[in-house]
Each structure stands twice: as C-alpha cells, then as structure tokens.
Amino acid sequence: MLPLSLFWPKAKEIPASALAVPPVHLTLNGRQVQLPAGSSVAAALLIHRIHEGSGAEERERRAPFCGMGICQECRVTIDGQRLLACQVTCTDGMTVETPKGNLE
C-alpha cells in the first residue's frame, strides 16, 4: 500500500485518531445495528441482508437496484417518513422499518 503522504504531502501531519470515524447506531426493523459513519440506509439493508424493496406491487423480494433514487425499489420508513434508502445517510438513533419488517 502506498503511503498517504505520497499523494497528500501534509497528510503525515494528521494524527491517526483524526482519521478514525466512529460508527453510527440505528434501529433496523426493531434490532440495534452498527454501521460505519457515512453509510447510506441502502448499504445498511445490504449489509444486514434485507432484500425487500417496496417498489414491486407483487411484493416480491427485491434489493436496492439503481442506488440513485430512480427505480424507487428501496422505499422504507425512516423515523416515520417514507424515504428512499439510497438517498439517506445513516445517523445515530435513526429508526428504519422495511415493508415486511423482518431480518434475514
């Protein structure tokens, strides 16, 4: 692995502790989960193997597809609001419910 300072000469001045990002904790279908800060809710669904998008009228098992909000397959309820999981960044204390509400 190439040293960070090769690309950013001042990087060696940044303490390693400043580069460490604390995780975020949220409730996903009633279960407490932990994710890297900056993760999207869609990433949380994939990491925790939840494949139940709400875009399909036939309610078949589906996962986030396009990752940019076009397909509408990743609609979930986040803190009481229907939102697209691929467009929302996880925050501490967030509550996410999927249509079927079960963890795989």
* Residue 1 in this model has a pLDDT that exceeds 70: no
Sign of CA dihedral 93, 98, 102, 104: negative
State the CATH number of the domain containing residue 71: 3.10.20.440
Residue with tokens 């994710």: 35
Domain contains 54: yes
**How many domains are contained in the chain?**
1
Task: Please tell me the distance from the alpha carbon of residue 12 to that of residue 103, in angstroms, as a whole number.
Answer: 42
Domain contains 5: no
Count CB neighbours of 55 within 10 A. 15
Structural domain for 71, as ranges: 21-97
Domain contains 12: no
104: confidence class by pLDDT, cuts 50, 70, 90:
very low
Q: Is the pTM of this model over 0.85?
A: no
Q: How far is CA 16 from the centre of its chain?
A: 25
Are 65 and 71 in contact, with CB atoms under 8 Å apart?
yes
* Residue 103 in this model has a pLDDT that exceeds 50: no
* Residue 3 in this model has a pLDDT that exceeds 70: no
Give residue-wise pLDDT tens across range 18-72: 667 789 999 999 999 999 889 999 999 888 887 665 555 555 555 667 777 888 8
* Residue 78 in this model has a pLDDT that exceeds 90: yes
